Amino acid sequence: MRILPIMPLSEGYETPSITLNEEEGVLEIFHPSEGHLLKESQIIPEILILRCQIYPMARPPSDISVQLIAENEVLESAPLYDESIVTYGYDREIRASQWQGMALEYTGIGTSISDGESLSFQDNNFSFGKIKVTSPLYLKPFRVEVESHKEHHLTLEDGAHLITPPGALNKQVLRGYGAYYKEGISSEHIQQIYYSLTSSHNATRIRLISTEQLQEEDSPPPTGGENRIFTPPLREEEYLSLGGALAAGYASISLEIEEKTTLFKSFRCAPVSGHPTFINVYFKPN
């Protein structure tokens, strides 16, 4: 083997060196298109995607009853969440319509997107930052009935129909019954269900209706249009579907890079193929 002699450096040549910012102790990156230095601590992802699992939350067990007084006749009361008192016409599973909320738990799988490039990470740490996630990451509330309810339906002399409470004239009164959820349905179909009182064979009965049907009939919450009223009034986070609440930014996480914390809010979600209880939740800086 032949060893080549060390070639002398040409005159005027200086050995290259990397300059470190000793005061801050962070790597500095030169971005040629912008012509200035960027600190790694200043690089905030454009999008964070966290994979979550959906857990439906049951309403607390309770003996809630409803009772209708029709034209001054007191009808027999009935247990609200008994399937047998639901009248014909509701096309969804009744037991699947009684959930109180949806909990989203972070599974520890995430992706960050910056400048069109994606980087996968696990748990809460990735190359230059740490995400702070609560458990559950998000709890989507829906409205359920929390106490027994009684209504008086009365036809007035002029033919108008009065419901008390709340004192609604010629309107159907809708109250929160629960959320509809089945494994594998889309996040937009995880929605609020409402009930109204009616009667059958001198006994109190209820009608159920979904948010989706109300939208098709141009009487969606929160106003109900000309023919319906919601009582008690619902908050936006309650009457939106799970997908709608995530699109509206109701879920949030924070990103810590060194001593700086940036809040990220949800703006969409997407199903995970082959995993019916999983969704990917997308977040962007607030």
pLDDT digits (tens, 9 = 90+) for 38-65: 444 457 899 999 999 999 999 998 899 9
Indicate whether 130 and 66 sit together in one domain. no
CB-based contact 45:112 (threshold 8 Å): yes
Task: Answer yes or no: do 77 and 195 share one domain.
Answer: yes
pLDDT reading at 33 higher than 50: no
pLDDT for residue 42: 53
**Does a structural domain hold residue 205?**
yes
The pLDDT assigned to 2 comes to 42
Residues 133, 217 within the same domain = no
Same domain? 146 vs 190: yes
If asked whether residues 213 and 155 sit together in one domain, one would say yes
Quick one: pLDDT band at residue 273, thresholds 50, 70, 90?
Answer: very high
Say if 81 falls within a structural domain: yes
Tell me, yes or no, whether 16 lies in a domain: no
- Kindly report, residue by residue over 216-236, the tens digit of the pLDDT: 999 999 999 999 999 999 999
- Residue 116 located in a structural domain: yes
In-domain check, residue 178: yes
Residue that has been written with the tokens 């012509």 in this structure? 35
Residue type, 165: P
Q: Domain range for residue 124?
A: 46-50+104-139+245-285
Quote the CA–CA distance of 120 and 222 in Å, as a whole number. 40
Give the mean pLDDT of the chain.
Answer: 87
At residue 62, the pLDDT reads: 87
Residues 156 and 235 in one domain: yes
Q: Is residue 274 part of a domain?
A: yes
**pLDDT reported for residue 224:** 93
pTM of structure: 0.83
Residue 127 — very low, low, confident or very high, per pLDDT cuts 50/70/90?
A: confident
Percent share of the chain, pLDDT over 90: 78
Cα angle, residue 147 at apex, residues 146 and 151 outer, rounded to 5°: 125
Q: Residue 129 has what pLDDT?
A: 85
Same domain? 251 vs 237: no
Same-domain check for residues 169 and 189: yes
- What was the pLDDT predicted at 197? 98
Are 225 and 274 members of one domain? no
Average pLDDT of 142-165? 96
Residues 71 and 174 in one domain: yes
* Counts for the chain of helices (H) and strands (E), in that order: 3, 21
Secondary structure (3-state) at 3:
coil
If one compares 14 and 168, the residue with the highest pLDDT of the two is: 168
Judge whether residue 27 has pLDDT over 90. no
Q: Please report whether residue 221 resides in a domain.
A: yes
Mean pLDDT of 84-96: 93
Could you tell me which residue, 75 or 3, shows the higher pLDDT? 75
Residues 127 and 225 in one domain: no
State whether 167 and 182 are in the same domain. Answer: yes
Is residue 9 a part of any domain in this protein? no
Please count the structural domains in the chain. Answer: 2
